[in-house]
Each structure stands twice: as structure tokens, then as C-alpha cells.
């Protein structure tokens, strides 16, 4: 059982690291967000007259898509970091299982991390450890 607790601590640290990487990767579309905002600003100045409409449409799409990707990426990163916290505290077993499955989407690190998490959390003694910690 002591060995499984060590595995949970290692997984907890790994979730912090992968969560930080995911948060960093989610910042990449900021370039598109700034470009989209620039296009929106150029389209609204009236400098282009009737030809400003493509700037507005393109800028709106750039801004909307990049903003969505950034928000979803940061939410995913926060979820991974929270999972690392919960694994270290041995609480919220179901949340950790679900995030382990979702972590598999972030290839290659998240896939390895998610599979290891699912294998470890589905063992009966680790599940009993989580249940004992949540009762206390």
C-alpha cells in the first residue's frame, strides 16, 4: 500500500507539470487573438469604407476561435492542476478518474499520464484509500 501512495505522489507532481505545459500551449493562440483584434480595429475605423467588411468578418472569426481555444485550454490546464492536488490529498476519486480519461487527449504526455492514472485508480486498494480519506 505504501508503494501505491508513492505512485500517487509521483502522479500528482506529473499532473502539475503537464498542467503547466497545457497552460503554456494554450497561450499560443494569443498571436491569432491579437491579429484578430487588429483586423477588427482596422475594419471599424472606416478607413477602408465598404471594403472594411472582410476585415470585420475575418477579425471576428480570428478573435472568436482564438479566444475559445485559449479559454478551453486554460480550463483544461486548471483541471489537470486540480487533479494533481486531489491525487496528492487522496480525495475526489471520480473527478480524478474523469480527468485521467480527459488527459489522454493531450498527446503524448497526457496520454501516458491518463493511462497510468486510470490503471492506478482502478485498483481496489487505491479506491479503498480514497474512500477512507473522504470519510475522514
Report pLDDT digits (tens) over 8-63: 999 999 999 999 999 999 999 999 999 999 988 887 776 666 677 788 888 999 99
What contacts 24+ positions apart, CB below 8 Å, involve 96-102?
96/121, 97/121, 97/122, 102/76
- The confidence score (pLDDT) of residue 49 equals 65
- The confidence score (pLDDT) of residue 122 equals 94
pTM of the predicted model over 0.75: yes
- The confidence score (pLDDT) of residue 26 equals 96
Following CA atoms 11, 106, 76, 56 in sequence, which dihedral angle do they give, to the nearest 10 degrees?
Answer: 160
Q: 116, 28 in Cβ contact below 8 A?
A: no
Sign of dihedral through CA atoms 68, 74, 78, 81? positive
In which band, very low, low, confident or very high, does the pLDDT at 64 lie, cut at 50, 70 and 90?
very high
Cell numbers for 103: 488527459
**Boundaries of every domain in the chain:** 2-27+63-135
CB atoms within 10 A of CB 101: 13
Per DSSP, the three-state class of 129 is helix
DSSP 8-state symbol, 78: H
| pLDDT, tens only, 106-126 | 889 899 999 999 999 999 999
Question: Distance (Å, rounded) from C-alpha 31 to C-alpha 51?
Answer: 24
- The confidence score (pLDDT) of residue 43 equals 75
Q: 90, 111 in Cβ contact below 8 A?
A: no
Identify which has the larger pLDDT, 131 or 33: 33
Amino acid at each position: 500500500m505504501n508503494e501505491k501512495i508513492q505512485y500517487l505522489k509521483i502522479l500528482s507532481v506529473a499532473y502539475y507539470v503537464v498542467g503547466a505545459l497545457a497552460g503554456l500551449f494554450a497561450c499560443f493562440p494569443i498571436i491569432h487573438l491579437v491579429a484578430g483584434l487588429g483586423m477588427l480595429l482596422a475594419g471599424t475605423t472606416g478607413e477602408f469604407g465598404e471594403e472594411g467588411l472582410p476585415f470585420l468578418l475575418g477579425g471576428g472569426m480570428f478573435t472568436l476561435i482564438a479566444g475559445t481555444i485559449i479559454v478551453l485550454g486554460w480550463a483544461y490546464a486548471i483541471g489537470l492542476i486540480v487533479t494533481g492536488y486531489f491525487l496528492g490529498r487522496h480525495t475526489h476519486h471520480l473527478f480524478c478518474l474523469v480527468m485521467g480519461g480527459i488527459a489522454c487527449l493531450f498527446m503524448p504526455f497526457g496520454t501516458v499520464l491518463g493511462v497510468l492514472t486510470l490503471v492506478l485508480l482502478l485498483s481496489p486498494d487505491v479506491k479503498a484509500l480514497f474512500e477512507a480519506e473522504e470519510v475522514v
